[in-house]
Amino acid sequence: MPKPSDPRREVLTGLLGLGLQSSRKSYYPELMGRLEELETERNRYKWLFENAVHGIFQGDMEHGIRAANPSLVRMLGYPSTEAVLAAATELKDSFFAAGAEEFRRVGEQLRLQGELVGYETRLRRLDGSELDVRMNLLLKQEGGRSLVEGFVADISGRKQAERAMQLLNEQLEQRVHERTQELETLNDSLRHEIIERERVQWALRDARDAAELANRNKDHYLAAVSHDLLQPLNAARLLMATLRERALPAAEAQLVERSHAALESAEDMLSDLLDIARLDHGNIPLDLGNHSLAEVIDPLLSEFQGLIETSGLQVRARLGRWAVRTDYRMLSRILRNLLSNAIRYTPSGRILIGCRRRGELLSIQVWDTGLGIPRERFEDIFREFNQLHADRVGPRKGAGLGLAIVERIARLLEAPLQVHSVVGQGSMFSVTLPLARASTPNPPDALLERLSAPLQGRHLLVIDNDAMILSSMQGLLEQWGARVQVAVDLPGALAVLDGRRPDAILVDYHLDAGQTGCDAVGVLREHFHWQIPAIMITADRSEHSRQRLRDLGIPVLNKPIKAGKLRAMLGQVL
């Protein structure tokens, strides 16, 4: 006899299609599978709910919290979920730290918007403390009731960091304020210090201007004194050079040689003192150009030819076809002093001037077989008024300034200077300069032969406002075979020439009536419509006059004139 039927069971079995026995047999396995899936899904959500890091709850707008996960229970400080649910009604008013008013405000926002995302607030814990949280809330209707589901994240750590940062900012602002006050005080002190420094700078500026004025006055005075000193010395040197080339009795010839040596020592000392003063003063501009070694060294060999022959030394030059980029005048001064020292400190033997390439540089070397220098004295030889073997160098002792000048010029040219020496065997001095391209130099022997040739028949004009110098120069040049005409100024020169163009002009830089040798050369060249070769003779060693002469392309001979140098330069310009 069948059991009475349950209407609800019949409805459920009908909805599920299980009303008939055959249907139950057909759908039972599928139903069991779905139920197992639902159970698995329920267990997964239950696990997530209970083990979520964030707090999860469901609440009733009227009766408070209905469900809460363990994370929310821990956040609120309750011992268990049951304790939270038991206090649901009280929590409705004390859930938020701000109390019932915030609960009401949140409820109104949910009814208007349906959800709240990223809502930050503070919750009240069981012990009365407060907790900073961030909440996502969702309002939904179920069975005619308004339910709220929420996710709660503890942000107390972030809030503490923000409060610490705020405190740090406040402290920093306070420190900035205090530091600003300190800086304002320091600025006041600096302001007074700046005012004082400006006063000192003005005083230093005045002192500098006074020093520069004194320096300029010194330069003018030095130029004037050197001119006045060198004028008679120049005349004496020219007269002595003339006498030396004449056939004289032995006694008179010895007196002439002694007088020549004394004048040469005085000239060397005065010239060295002037050069040291100029180099120490600084601000010497360089006239850099490409110059072959023969162009620099051959005139020096010609200049020292008489001294070399007298000393009996063998002097050779092995220059090759090299050229360097440098200041011609400065390099010539270095090599002149090195060659002069080699001759002075080599009683007998040989001197060699050669060069060696080192990459893009060229080392110009002066070797001798002289007395040599002890290694511990290498630095001493470049000091002023310092001489080694002062009792063994013969009559031309000098003032001990030659190598001091060499060292200063090498430093100015940024050309490394080196010395190697063995006592009793000789020395080697070298200066290193950058290589440059240049035309093939003339062979040294050919150039020396050309420069030493007599000036037979050459028509030379000499202009100088000193009658003694004119007479001395005329005697020396005529002794070399030249036809010489002299004049004290430009009108006198035009008068004595009488329309005959000279082969070369030798003119003093400073003439009378404010005229200069440059003016005289310019007028004579224009008068004859010819670029007449000229040599400027002057005691003025200032850079201003040198620059002007460089611009005009006129070579310079400084007073007092050395006969060998004069002859070499005449050979060059002619």
Contact at 8 Å (CB) between 367 and 354?
A: yes
CA-CA distance, 152 to 71, in Å (whole number)? 9
At 16, the pLDDT band (50, 70, 90 cuts) reads very low
Tokens of 465: 């406002």
pLDDT digits (tens, 9 = 90+) for 437-480: 644 444 444 444 444 455 778 899 999 888 888 888 888 888 88
Is pLDDT at 531 greater than 80 in this prediction?
yes
Out of 138-147, 157-166, 198-207, 562-571, pick the least confident: 562-571
Rounded mean pLDDT, 176-201: 88
At 367, the pLDDT band (50, 70, 90 cuts) reads very high
At 151, the pLDDT band (50, 70, 90 cuts) reads very high
At 134, the pLDDT band (50, 70, 90 cuts) reads very high
- Residue 242 φ then ψ, to 5°: -65, -45
Q: What is the pLDDT of residue 128?
A: 85
Q: What is the pLDDT of residue 243?
A: 77
Q: What is the pLDDT of residue 438?
A: 46
Contact at 8 Å (CB) between 68 and 55?
A: yes
pLDDT digits (tens, 9 = 90+) for 378-403: 777 777 665 665 555 444 555 567 78
Is pLDDT at 222 greater than 80 in this prediction?
no
More confident residue, 19 or 330: 330
Rounded mean pLDDT, 117-127: 89
Is pLDDT at 534 greater than 50 in this prediction?
yes
Measured on CA atoms in the order 239, 245, 248, 251, is the torsion positive or negative?
A: positive
Measured from the Cβ of residue 396, the count of other Cβ atoms closer than 10 Å reads: 14
pLDDT digits (tens, 9 = 90+) for 406-436: 888 888 888 888 989 888 889 999 999 999 8
Q: What is the pLDDT of residue 223?
A: 57
- In angstroms and rounded to an integer, the radius of gyration of the C-alpha atoms of the chain is 55
CA-CA distance, 68 to 76, in Å (whole number)? 11
Contact at 8 Å (CB) between 160 and 81?
A: no
Rounded mean pLDDT, 4-22: 49
Share of the chain above pLDDT 90, in %: 9
